[in-house]
Amino acid sequence: MAIAEGRTLPFTGPEAIDVAILETFPYEGPDQDIVTETSEFSAVCPYSGLPDFARLTISYVPRTKCVELKSLKYYITSYRNVGIFQEHATARMAEDLFGALAPQRLSVRTVYNIRGGFETTCTVTLPAGRISPVS
């Protein structure tokens, strides 16, 4: 008898993602690619409540604003107990960051740890002028 079969751990919904914590600072300079990476991203599988871990890469070309890294860390940490599919988490981060920064271009890439024998990589790239809500 499998004791863990059908079990789930409690988690919160996407409403717990704290987009309001994101802060920016003014940028005046030439076009440049800014790349920020962490291996400390985690969210929760909405089926099991078990954590999903990923390497997160955020790349953008600023127009007039850059993201403040401490606020970014708090924003990313707000996903920790959120039940959200990997693909939706990547899309939500891209939309939130695009909304906060209004960059020329932004890409969010997540490479999730292997689950069920599959490594999953999700990438969302948003050009300037495109904002579509994620539900």
- 52 catalytic per annotation: yes
At residue 135, the pLDDT reads 42
At residue 1, the pLDDT reads 66
Catalytic: which of 18, 31, 33, 45? 45
CATH topology of domain 14-127: GTP Cyclohydrolase I, domain 2 (3.30.1130)
Higher per-residue pLDDT: 128 or 60: 60
Average pLDDT in the 74-87 region?
A: 97
Pick the closest to residue 103 from 48, 52, 63, 57 (CA basis).
63
pLDDT digits (tens, 9 = 90+) for 14-58: 999 999 999 999 999 999 999 999 999 999 999 888 899 999 999
Catalytic: which of 18, 31, 33, 52? 52
For the range 56-59, what are the long-range contacts, defined as Cβ-Cβ under 8 Å and sequence gap of 24 or more? 56/93, 56/108, 56/109, 56/110, 57/107, 57/108, 57/109, 57/110, 57/111, 58/93, 58/97, 58/106, 58/107, 58/108, 58/109, 59/33, 59/34, 59/35, 59/106, 59/107, 59/109
Q: Which token pair is 92?
A: 């939500």
DSSP class per residue in 32-96: --EEEEEEEEEEE-TTT--EEEEEEEEEEE-SSEEE-HHHHHHHHHTTTTBB--HHHHHHHHHHH
Domain ranges across the chain? 14-127
pLDDT digits (tens, 9 = 90+) for 100-117: 999 999 999 999 999 889
- 45 catalytic per annotation: yes
At residue 5, the pLDDT reads 80
